[in-house]
Amino acid sequence: MLPLEGIQVLDLTRLAPGPHCTMILADLGAEVLKIEEPGPPTGRRAQQAAGQPTEWKVPGIDRHSPFNALNRNKRSMGLNLKTDAGREIFYKLAERADVVVEEFRPGVAKRLGIDYETLRPRNPRLIYCAITGYGQTGPYRTQVGHDINYIAMAGALGIMGPKDGPPTIPHNLLADYAGGGMHGAIGILAALLARERTGRGQFVDIAMTDGVLTLLAASLSNYFGAGLIPQRGEGMLDGAAPFYNVYRTKDDKWLSIGAIEPWFYANLCKALGREDLIPYEFDTARWPEIRQIFQDIFRTKTRDEWFDVLSQSDVCVGKVYRYDELEDDPQLQARQMFIELEHPEVGRVKQVGISVKLSETPGQVRRLAPRQFEHTTEVLQSLGYSAEDIAKLRQAGVVR
């Protein structure tokens, strides 16, 4: 048994936050149906596809590739929601669904006639989750943006990077995946639990900016309580401290050190042969000097040699891996964080594993990403449409 077995999810999303949210739900057993716009890209989608640099168009990793983990455990159908017939099909699906997930700009779903207020009378138990940059309320609600903008407005970007340099952009992990996708999944799971008690669905309003702000709860507590404003590159956890830092090794690889506690710092100094530095852990005036000493010492051995030495000395240490090194790590292997599945066309396909480990009802990767529109006929047949009906809908451009 899977924990979300029987939960039906309609997925209207395309970009990172929504697909990541529904991947989490699908991995835990939900039946996720991707509703995709049929036909070739038009309007802004066409502009984006035409203007994409050639070097970005890497074979095998498009949205519909079996290697795309974000679409695993899902089905796909092509449905034109701008047509009356397409909306009618969607209404039938929504009447049976438990969850709808979308990431349109506020107001778009209403213009399409598929917003929560339209769907709720048809299915009072429906949970409708909208993931956007700034949420459904406030003066920025319709403003466009991407991860970099949301983490900037939430205060996260401003505390990342070296003291005398610009803020460091942390890929699109914080807003898209943590602030949006994960918070969306949390909100949906909470709403499903609440429905068990109330019998009613509800609207889940997820703003990526809000999610990032929540990630800063501890840091902001220091600001609210003590007026402390972190300065980039000057704090213990952002590069100023020699005991919480990264160091280049003899083989030009990198090692991370996190020896914050006095006993771990003492162990580090002993392993490096510099017990004389133990009394100065929190002497910030000496941090630059100590960091330079550590830099010189770490250049005397390879990354893996240092890892073996320090991990056996009870020091908080970690290798800074490249992607092509991850699969060989024994800890990640033991946690089954890399799996392989068989695909009928491309053979063995590697995927990242499932991070949530449930002892009684574990999640499962049951199938790889579907071909675009692969399940349209199957879904329409389940709604009672005949082969003749489906053919007419295809000819009219309603489905694909």
Q: Tens digits of per-residue pLDDT, 302-344?
A: 999 999 999 999 999 999 999 999 999 999 999 999 999 999 9
Per-residue model confidence (pLDDT) at position 64: 85
Q: What is the mean pLDDT of residues 195-203?
A: 98
Cα-based angle 15, 168, 178 (whole degrees, multiple of 5): 35
Give start and end residues of each alpha helix (H) in 245-359. 262-271, 287-298, 303-311, 323-326, 330-334
Q: Would you say residue 145 has pLDDT above 70?
A: yes
Per-residue model confidence (pLDDT) at position 62: 79
CATH number of domain containing 209: 3.40.50.10540
Q: Would you say residue 42 has pLDDT above 70?
A: no
Cα-based angle 278, 279, 280 (whole degrees, multiple of 5): 90
Residue type, 199: G
Distance of alpha carbon 269 from alpha carbon 294, whole angstroms? 9
With respect to residue 222, please indicate whether it lies within any of the assigned structural domains: no
Q: Would you say residue 52 has pLDDT above 60?
A: no
Which of 326, 349, 368 terminates a domain? The answer is 326
> Measured in Å, how far apart are the chain's first and last C-alpha atoms?
33
Per-residue model confidence (pLDDT) at position 39: 75
Q: Are residues 278 and 379 in the same domain?
A: no
Q: Give pTM, 2 decimals.
A: 0.94
Per-residue model confidence (pLDDT) at position 58: 44
Percent of the chain at pLDDT above 70? 94
Per-residue model confidence (pLDDT) at position 59: 53
**Phi, psi (rounded to 5 degrees) for 32:** -105, 125
Over 166-232, what HEC string results? CCCCCCCHHHHHHHHHHHHHHHHHHHHHHHHHHCCCCEEEEEHHHHHHHHCHHHHHHHHHHCCCCCC
Collapsing DSSP states into helix, strand and coil, what is residue 164?
Answer: coil
CATH number of domain containing 293: 3.30.1540.10
Q: Would you say residue 21 has pLDDT above 60?
A: yes
Q: Are residues 143 and 278 in the same domain?
A: no
Per-residue model confidence (pLDDT) at position 56: 41
| DSSP label at residue 254 | E
Q: Would you say residue 186 has pLDDT above 70?
A: yes
pLDDT tens digits for 276-309? Answer: 999 999 999 999 999 999 999 999 999 999 999 9
Q: What is the mean pLDDT of residues 267-284?
A: 98
Residue with tokens 């066409």: 46
Q: Are residues 141 and 271 in the same domain?
A: no
DSSP letter string, 345-371: TTEEEEEE--S---SSS-----S-PPP
Calculate the dihedral angle through the C-alpha atoms of 186, 188, 194, 196, rounding to the nearest 10 degrees: -120
Q: Are residues 289 and 347 in the same domain?
A: no
Instruction: Count the neighbouring beta carbons within 10 Å of the beta carbon of residue 335.
Output: 13
Which of 300, 326, 352 terminates a domain? The answer is 326
Per-residue model confidence (pLDDT) at position 55: 47
Q: What is the mean pLDDT of residues 41-69?
A: 66
Total tally of structural domains belonging to the chain: 2
Which domain range does residue 29 map to? 8-214+339-395
Q: Which residues contact 260 (CB under 8 A, 6 or more apart)?
A: 236, 241, 243, 244, 316
Distance of alpha carbon 55 from alpha carbon 305, whole angstroms? 37
Percent of the chain at pLDDT above 90? 93
With respect to residue 277, please indicate whether it lies within any of the assigned structural domains: yes
Per-residue model confidence (pLDDT) at position 41: 63
Which sequence positions are flagged as catalytic? 146, 176
Q: Would you say residue 48 has pLDDT above 70?
A: no
Q: What is the mean pLDDT of the chain?
A: 95
With respect to residue 236, please indicate whether it lies within any of the assigned structural domains: no
Collapsing DSSP states into helix, strand and coil, what is residue 276?
Answer: helix
Q: Are residues 316 and 349 in the same domain?
A: no
With respect to residue 99, please indicate whether it lies within any of the assigned structural domains: yes
Q: Are residues 119 and 259 in the same domain?
A: no
